[in-house]
Amino acid sequence: MKSIWVLYDQLWMDNAAIKGGDSDSDVIVMIESDAFFRALPHHQIKLAFFLSAMRHFAGELREAGWTVDYYEYGEAKNYLAAMKVHCEKHEPESIQVLAPNDFQLAQAVPTISRKLKIDIETIPTNQFLVSRESFKKWADKQNSLRMENFYREHRKKTGWLMTDEGKPLGGEWNFDKENRASVKDWVKAGRPKPKEEPREDPDALTQKVIRAVNQDFAKHPGDARELWLPVTREAARDWLKGFINQRLKQFGPYEDMMVSGEPFLFHSILSPLLNVGLLHPRECVEAALKAYDRKNHPELPSVEGFIRQIMGWREFINGIYWQRMPDYQKENALDAETPLPEWLWDFESPMNCLHQVLTQLKETGYNHHIQRLMVLGNYFLLTGANPKDVLDWYTAMYVDAHEWVMAANVIGMVLYADDGYMATKPYAAGSGYINRMSNYCEDCQYKPSVKTGEEACPFNYLYWAFYDKHQKRFAKNPRVATMIKNWEKRKEEDRKAVRQSAKAWLNEHHSG
């Protein structure tokens, strides 16, 4: 007999390792590594979600006829210790595991194999639309890696949203311009909202997990009792249907908008389910395509925007991760060394935009992509936060955070720490963007119209201080060179006021 090792983020019956096994003779082993779950101060909701999903999947496997040897975190010091007990108990001839999604765990598998003196075969993953080998072949042919090029090529290969003549449906490859409704646009439209807010009530098993996380991870941020996500395959499919039927049509226009007290609105919130295997990206894309083909279909910009997030962005960052690891997470092209503010771990901030986003994060373990990039990420970029610290913080805080997800998003997209390997420009912005795309500025003690001094929105002077510090690096960048020229044209007294305001803020909030 052989053992099939199912990892915490591979909870899928079509997992290639499971599909290649025999439930009559083989044994499945699942491990909640205590060392893994305590490596960072993970949000309690994230921990409860992971653990409950794992335990529910083990139950589904048993119902399907499998023998499951399961080790909870209280009895599994780490993967090696648990696998040693498993091998002594079942004496497998070999072990098979779907290729781990995280580099560190992938590195650990050969070490575990060697120490156990048993062969562990790694099966190529089938959890993504594009294999690691296919991405590498594509990347090796490119002068520079750009998501848009990757996305277009795979649209052509799949035929998704393509005409019979091989042209993009609607005449455009993406509809970003149509998908930028502001808060004012939303208000003018009557403040539309979905009929229901996505939320799953915990069953008895989940409630047991919640109590354990509350007790055993009491010092971790968040509150496991607020777990709101589905934890089974059946519930995840219903969650997908709910998005398609209730939110997809208006997802596109309002996907970049931010409203106080509205954490979800029309977002899909499928990434947590995709990233542990409860959903597969193909079924998500196909569900959106099917909805588009119906009468009274959602608008094309919404469908295209959603598919681009799944088959474009998600697949692209996974490919980037495997192209650049293990050194990618060590990149720091801008020499950013500012420590994170202490209030960040308490989900507090004197700036209302950060306060709103952090409060939502504390309560749900979730923010949508613009909140992560243009509020939190923008702040980290402009204050010169240390990339490793930021990466650890993002990875610990979000319910959909895994190393492969966060490395490229944080190092490349948020912080420009890879020197433009992934993004053509740093995503830096002053107060104007947040003021236009949110209502956060209305109740803030800082004024977006004031540029320097105690009343000014910190994003205003931090933005210009960022380009002051890095003007030589970006002077020839065609996407931001104008900003450098504008800065150089400003009076010296204005530039001095910017530097002084930025220095005062950093001294007050980042002196740790």
Which residues of the chain are under the pLDDT cut of 70? 294-298, 512
CATH number (domain holding residue 57): 3.40.50.620
Alpha-carbon distance values, 122 to 6, 95, 134, 187, 419 (Å):
11, 9, 18, 52, 33
Cα–Cα dist 328/389, whole Å: 14
Q: Do 424 and 503 share a domain, yes or no?
A: yes
Three-state SS for 45? helix
Task: State the Cα torsion 14-16-17-23 to the nearest 10°.
Answer: 40
Q: Is residue 40 part of a domain?
A: yes
Q: Is residue 234 part of a domain?
A: no
CATH number (domain holding residue 358): 1.10.579.10
Cα–Cα dist 89/283, whole Å: 38
pTM of the full predicted structure? 0.95
Cα–Cα dist 435/417, whole Å: 26
pLDDT at 297: 61
Buried/exposed 262-274: b ≥16 CB within 10 Å, e otherwise: bbbbbbbbbbbbb
Q: Do 319 and 355 share a domain, yes or no?
A: no
pLDDT at 295: 52
pLDDT at 177: 85
Task: Answer whether the bond into residue 326 is a cis peptide, omega within 30°.
Answer: yes
Last residue of a domain, one of 123, 148, 182: 123
Cα–Cα dist 87/106, whole Å: 20
Q: Is residue 34 part of a domain?
A: yes
Q: Is residue 290 part of a domain?
A: yes
Q: Do 114 and 182 share a domain, yes or no?
A: no
Q: Do 483 and 420 share a domain, yes or no?
A: yes
Q: Do 303 and 387 share a domain, yes or no?
A: no
Alpha-carbon distance values, 236 to 193, 199, 232, 240, 353 (Å):
21, 11, 6, 6, 31
Q: What is the 3-state secondary structure (H, E, C) of 322-336?
A: HHHCCCHHHCCCCCC
Q: Do 394 and 349 share a domain, yes or no?
A: yes
Task: Give me the domain span that covers residue 39.
Answer: 2-123
Q: Quick one: residue 65, left, alpha or beta (phi over 0 = left, psi -120 to 50 = alpha)?
A: left
pLDDT at 298: 66
Q: Give the chain's length.
A: 512
pLDDT tens digits for range 212-259: 999 999 999 999 999 999 999 999 999 999 999 999 999 999 999 999
Beta carbons within 10 angstroms of residue 204's beta carbon: 6
Q: How many domains does the chain have?
A: 3
Q: Do 308 and 449 share a domain, yes or no?
A: no
Angle ∠(416,50,107) on CA atoms, nearest 5: 60
Name residue 98's beta-bridge partners: 123
Q: Do 82 and 185 share a domain, yes or no?
A: no
Pairing status of strand 120-123 against strand 27-31: unpaired
Q: Do 385 and 297 share a domain, yes or no?
A: no
Q: Which of 500, 380, 416 is nearest to 452 (CA)?
A: 500
Q: Do 451 and 483 share a domain, yes or no?
A: yes
Q: What is the DSSP letter of 118?
A: S
Q: Do 268 and 151 share a domain, yes or no?
A: yes
- Burial class for 85, CB neighbours closer than 10 Å (0-12, 13-18, 19+): middle
Q: Is residue 213 part of a domain?
A: no
Q: Is residue 465 part of a domain?
A: yes
pLDDT at 396: 97
Last residue of a domain, one of 75, 92, 123: 123
Q: Do 374 and 469 share a domain, yes or no?
A: yes
Last residue of a domain, one of 74, 97, 123: 123
pLDDT tens digits for range 142-165: 988 899 999 999 999 999 999 999
Q: Is residue 110 part of a domain?
A: yes
Alpha-carbon distance values, 449 to 258, 446, 456 (Å):
19, 9, 7
Q: Which residue has the tokens 């979730």?
A: 366
Residues 6 or more apart from 83 whose CB is under 8 A from it?
A: 5, 29, 31, 95, 112, 116
Cα–Cα dist 272/486, whole Å: 42
pLDDT at 78: 96
Q: Is residue 9 part of a domain?
A: yes
Dihedral angle sign, alpha carbons of residues 473, 476, 477, 479: positive
Q: The tokens of 448 are what? A: 């977006």
